[in-house]
Amino acid sequence: MKMIDLRSDTVTKPSMGMKQAMWDAELGDDVFGDDPTVHQLEELAATMLGKEAALFVPSGTQSNLIGIMIHCQRGDEYIVGQEAHTYKWEGGGAAVLGSIQPQPVHFEKNGSLDLHKLVNYVKPLDEHHPRTKLLCLENTQAGKVLPLSYLTEAKNFCEQNHLLYHLDGARVFNASVKLFVDVKEIAEHFDSVSICLSKGLGAPVGSVLCASKDKIKEARRWRKVLGGGMRQAGVIAAAGIYALKNNIQRLQEDHENAQLLATLLNEIDGIEVETQDIQTNMMYVNLPAQHEQSISLFLKDKGIIFPRGKRIRLVTHLDIQRQDILTVVNEVKKFMQEYHFVAQST
C-alpha cells in the first residue's frame, strides 16, 4: 500500500532518476578533496545562491551550527527566533558545542523578528555582556515567506549594529518559488545561507552551507571537527545535484496541493485549518478534542499518516499527488461521519 505521509517533507524517497544519478556518480575521497561530484554540488549551490563558495554537510542542523560557528567565537551570542530551528530544535548545539549563547526573541505572526524589539537585545560592548555578533533568520518560517523588503531592513539593521547575518534556508526554495524570484535575490542579503536538500527538494540526505570563500574555508575545518567530513560522499551529493536541477520549480505543485488540502479539510465540520497562514507547503490543523488519537489511528489503517496531537502540522511534498489530497479528505470525512454517528447514538 502506498502511504500518504503528511508529517513532513523530509519523508520523500529518491525517485528513479535521482537513484540513477547516484548510481552514475563519479566518486573520490572528499576529505582529501577528491570527490568530483561533491565539488560539482558545492559549485552548483554556490552559483545558484550567488555566493563565492559552498560546503556539503550531512544535515541542516550541522549546517546551521557551522554557520553560527564561523561567525561567532566563544562568549559571543546570536539573536534568533524563540521557536526557530536554530534555537529550539538543534539540541542547543551552538551553546553545547560552540560556547555561543543564543538570545531568543519571539517571532512575529509573519515569521519575522521585529527589528524595533531586537534593538534592545543587542548588548553594548561591556565585559559584563556576551558580545552580540549575529542575527539568524528562518525562511520559510513555519511555511511563511519573509518579504524581500524585510530582508533588506534586517540587513540594514545588522550593518548598523555590526552584526553578521545568517539564514536558515532549509526551505528557502519554497520561498523563492512563492515570490517568483531567483533564490539569489533572497540569499544576497545574507553573509551565509544554509539550504536543505532533504526537505521539499527530495534528496535522501544533505544540506549545503553557502558563504564567502574565507568563511567556507573556516566552515570546512569545523565540519571536520564536528565529525561531518565524509568520504565518497558524491554518492549522496549526486542526489543533491539532481534535486537542485529538477525539483525546485515543482514546489509550486506542493503549494497548490497544500491550498487544496486546507480548503477541503476546512469545509469538514469539526476540523479547523489555520488557513490565513498558508503560503507554501505547510499548514496547521486543529482536530476535534478527544479525537486526536483515534483520527490518526483510523487514517493509518487507510495508509495515511498524520502526526498525533490536537494542533497538528501537515506538510505536502513531492511524494504527494493531487489525487492523494482527495483521498485524505475523503477519509477524514468518513472518520468525522463515523464519529458523529457514535456521538448521536450514545
Ligand X SMILES: *Cc1c(COP(=O)(O)O)cnc(C)c1O
Least spacing, CB of residue 25 vs ligand X, in Å: 21
Single-letter amino acid code for the residue at 44: L
Cβ-proximal residues to 173 (8 Å cutoff; 6+ apart), any chain:
183, 195, 200, 201, 248, 251
Among 85, 178, 223, 255, binds ligand X (CB under 6 A): 85
**Binding to ligand X, residues 115-144 (CB under 6 A):** 138
Least spacing, CB of residue 194 vs ligand X, in Å: 7
The size of the interface with ligand X (CB under 6 A), counted in residues, is 12
Least spacing, CB of residue 304 vs ligand X, in Å: 22
Nearer CB in complex with ligand X: 148/205: 205
Q: Per-residue contact track with ligand X, 264 to 303, x per CB under 6 A?
A: ----------------------------------------
Least spacing, CB of residue 199 vs ligand X, in Å: 6
Cβ-proximal residues to 197 (8 Å cutoff; 6+ apart), any chain:
203, 205, 206, 207, 208, 239, 240, 243, 244
- Cα–Cα distances (Å) from 308 to 282, 324, 334, in that order, read 16, 20, 18
Q: Per-residue contact track with ligand X, 181 to 220, x per CB under 6 A?
A: ---------------x-xx-------x-------------
Integer Cα distance of 165 and 215 in angstroms? 13
Nearer CB in complex with ligand X: 203/299: 203
Nearer CB in complex with ligand X: 170/261: 170
Least spacing, CB of residue 62 vs ligand X, in Å: 7
Q: Per-residue contact track with ligand X, 319 to 338, x per CB under 6 A?
A: --------------------
Under the criterion CB under 6 A, does residue 316 sit at the interface with ligand X? no
Cβ-proximal residues to 4 (8 Å cutoff; 6+ apart), any chain:
303, 304, 305, 320, 324, 327, 328
Give the β-pairing of 311-315 and 282-286.
Answer: antiparallel
Integer Cα distance of 246 and 320 in angstroms? 16
- Cα–Cα distances (Å) from 54 to 43, 185, 297, in that order, read 7, 17, 43
Residue among 98, 67, 57 nearest 192 (CA): 67
Least spacing, CB of residue 234 vs ligand X, in Å: 19
Q: Per-residue contact track with ligand X, 40 to 59, x per CB under 6 A?
A: -------------------x
324, 325, 331, 337: CA torsion to nearest 10: -160
Measured in residues, the chain has a length of 346
Q: Per-residue contact track with ligand X, 140 to 179, x per CB under 6 A?
A: ----------------------------x-x---------
- List of residues contacting ligand X (CB under 6 A): 59-61, 64, 85, 138, 168, 170, 196, 198-199, 207
